Amino acid sequence: MSPRTVIALLFCFVLASVPVSAQPEFTPLPVEGYGSQVVPSPDGAVAVAFTDARAAMIANMDLSNGMTIIDMSDNSVVTALDGPVDLATSVAFNADGALLAVVHANGDVALWNTADWSLRDTHATLHMNARTLGFLPDGQTLTLLTSGTQPLLLFMDVTSGAIVGMAGRHYTRESELRAILSEPQGLMRTSAIAAALAPDGLRYAAANGFDEIVIREIETHDWFTAREGEGDLPQLSIAHMVFANNHTLVYMLRSGELHEFDVETRTDRLIATVADRLFMMDVSRDGSLIAAVTHDPDALFVLDRATGAVIQQVSLPSPQLAISLNFTPDNSAILLGVLNTEGAGPAAAILRITP
């Protein structure tokens, strides 16, 4: 039996072997290939699945598997986008779902009309391997988080392609940046391992390799440290952060802890200690639920954010196979994108949340 067949059978076996008492409906989506991110539209009517360029590059896999639109009412394929879809790193729908922005590893941003899935425009940028944190509420301004020594959050007008604003971390002078870079592990201190944008677009958070979280106000450029870094060596524990609302940031530590930080009161609260080695997380659109993938056990957890109680738990073959995790807008399901190193079997699945 080939490795490709083994991986496909393993994924299907896990979906079929969940205890009946949990009553989950974990169903593969019609997306095949090496690895997909799956992102729902604002109304949840469709989802876009695409080959994640960064995951594919790391695994030395094919980057040209395309981009598929899925009808979420019956999990059928609506269409495959015809145009520039290779090397995608992230996607975002605008506020009313009429526009899909695709950010590519080569610096291009492609804009698609969702009414007929036609290509509206392509804007070239100078920022390789950037990713989007989403649209601002106006539906016309796209955020781009750049990679590099000092990451910047850029604001792009999608009509003209012009960069209309930017925000950095808290290093405002070149001398400050040089001083930090001269320190041991200085590059890790200026990095943005994880980042999140508030729903109203007025503040964003960034965590560096030492697990220090900085929150910055976009309009005033004021900033403060929400979490101090720990130790003299990079921890790389905070891989995912999400604003549950405009003033509450939810973040994870790989040790198993889920925290939330209230920007207004500047207080931190431990939500729950889930399991050892948290891998990734997401927060539902209404802020009430948290989904978390863990390594010990290899499972997907759904938790009540207010109490930290586990609502649902589903086994996974390996959390390293999970590369995207997104709640649907109505909070009834979770979309999971997986990495298939041999390119076999489903690359995405949907989990129906049990009340």
- The predicted-structure confidence for 293-313, as pLDDT tens digits, reads as follows 988 788 999 999 999 999 999
- The predicted-structure confidence for 8-58, as pLDDT tens digits, reads as follows 433 343 333 333 334 455 788 887 766 688 999 999 999 999 887 766 665
So what's the pLDDT on residue 71?
96
Q: Which carries the bigger pLDDT value, residue 19 or residue 261? A: 261
Backbone angles phi, psi at 85, to 5 degrees: -125, -10
Residue in the structure block whose two tokens are 């792009």: 156
CA-to-CA distance for 155 and 33, rounded, in angstroms? 32
As a whole number, the mean pLDDT across the chain is 81
pTM: 0.85
- The predicted-structure confidence for 165-202, as pLDDT tens digits, reads as follows 877 655 545 555 565 555 555 545 566 788 999 999 99
- The predicted-structure confidence for 337-354, as pLDDT tens digits, reads as follows 887 666 566 678 899 887
Written as six digits, the tokens of 43 are 């109304």
> Residue 231: which pLDDT band, with cuts at 50, 70 and 90?
low
Q: Which carries the bigger pLDDT value, residue 5 or residue 84? A: 84
Share of the chain above pLDDT 90, in %: 43
Enumerate residues 6+ apart whose C-beta is below 8 A from 107.
124, 125, 126, 127, 128, 130
Sheet strand arrangement including 76-80: 36-40, 46-51, 67-71, 76-80
pLDDT at 61 over 70: no
- The predicted-structure confidence for 99-124, as pLDDT tens digits, reads as follows 999 998 888 999 999 999 999 999 98
Q: Which carries the bigger pLDDT value, residue 82 or residue 283? A: 283
Structural contact between residues 156 and 144, judged by C-beta atoms closer than 8 angstroms = yes
Total residue length of the chain: 355
What is the third-level CATH fold of 81-167? Thrombin, subunit H (2.40.10)
Would you give the distance in Å from CA 90 to the centre of its chain?
A: 8
So what's the pLDDT on residue 11?
39
> Average pLDDT, stretch 123-135?
85
Element (H, E) at 227: strand 223-227
So what's the pLDDT on residue 132?
87
Would you give the distance in Å from CA 155 to the centre of its chain?
A: 18
Backbone angles phi, psi at 29, to 5 degrees: -95, 155
Q: Which carries the bigger pLDDT value, residue 274 or residue 7? A: 274
So what's the pLDDT on residue 129?
76
